[in-house]
Amino acid sequence: MTKPSLLELPPGVQLVYLAEGGANVIYRFVQAKSPIAPKRLSVGPVAPTCEGAEEYAVPSLFMGKLLRLRKDTAAGVSYKEIAQNFNTIVRPLFRPEELVDQTLIRLPDGLTYRCNELLRIAELNGRRPKKRHGGYLCLTEPFGLLITDMTTFDEPGATLAELKPKWLTQSPSAPATAHRCRTCALREMKNHDARSLGQKEQRSFCPLDLVSERVDNVFRATTFIQGCSDRARLARILFRNPTLLKLQSQQKTWRGVGLLGPSAQSHETSLDMTLRDCTMFIKIPRDEKSPVEIRLGDLDLKTGAGGKAKYWRDVEMHLIEGGWYRGANRTQHPSECAMQHPRAHHPAAT
């Protein structure tokens, strides 16, 4: 059987900056119809285009896709390794329609260099977030990743809700007397530190409410989910949602977390922590009769190297020894946690 050839990005591709995080920059493909179209369509902070390209039609292969490019960071993992881990470890756990897909694609020569030049220009004209200044794309990374486009750019009236369904089950090393789930315990500990520094406290949902057997508990959680003003509709979408329940089931299966996680000297990749730090994207069309698209993203495998494994274990010890799980710390305020309130049965808490 012939091995499929690797995808290659055409040299004439035109991109527009969409967003960035600490390790990656995301670009959208732009379809130009004339030599001046790239300037007219460059609505983002930066828009790298291939010099001399007079017209470029986005191939159908790239429709519904975004381009992810890797930054040059100390802990950077090659896209080839990221794609291999995704294909062999993450992809088999979910259905294709449940994942923000990612496909390795070879970049044309000079693309990342030109993107970096435009990132620098964007810094000078104030169109790049200040906290991202000084971070640029890796010039030695030959690949990019095609990822599923979960924006609503081409879908007028649609909305996009995002949430982090972190610990949908209690930490296996939490004390039996716990009155907080892992997420709520950690948030309360961080809020204690924020108050001591005069910083703003964070409020969010209890993840156990997301997988509750009662829709009113899910509705309570939607208070803290951005992107959809129709909370009742969002609650109906999330209530006993198969993708959410699948993620909960996988978290129950992959339990090497907390004090059961990798040792402080570990360099292994941890699927267990990855499944507890992904993002759920919910694209909701204006028409309530149209299908809702729900996918999980941010599923690059985490590694315990570089002190990460030690950090994970140290956090768990602080939560246990500081009484944060039990709600026993004198600085703790009333909590949103489902484990503190006599609400409907939350099987995730047991």
pLDDT digits (tens, 9 = 90+) for 170-202: 999 999 999 999 999 999 999 999 998 999 999
CATH number at residue 57: 3.30.200
Helices (H) and strands (E) counted in the chain, each on its own, are 10, 11
pLDDT in the model for residue 96: 97
- Token representation of residue 235: 């609650």
Low-confidence ranges of the chain (pLDDT < 70): 1-4, 31-58, 342-350
Residue where one domain finishes, among candidates 103, 121, 148: 148
Q: What pLDDT, in 10s, does the model give residues 27-64?
A: 999 865 544 333 222 323 344 443 334 455 667 788 89
Angle at 319 (CA atoms; ends 315, 322), nearest 5 degrees: 125
Q: Tell me the CA distances in angstroms from 42 to 28, 60, 66, one per residue in order.
A: 10, 21, 15
pLDDT at 82: 96
In a domain, 310, yes or no: yes
Give the domain range for residue 53: 7-148
pLDDT at 269: 85
The domain boundary, picked from 113, 148, 183, lies at 148
Q: pTM to 2 decimals?
A: 0.88
* In contact, 188 and 176? CB cutoff 8 Å: no
| Six token digits for residue 37 | 């179209």
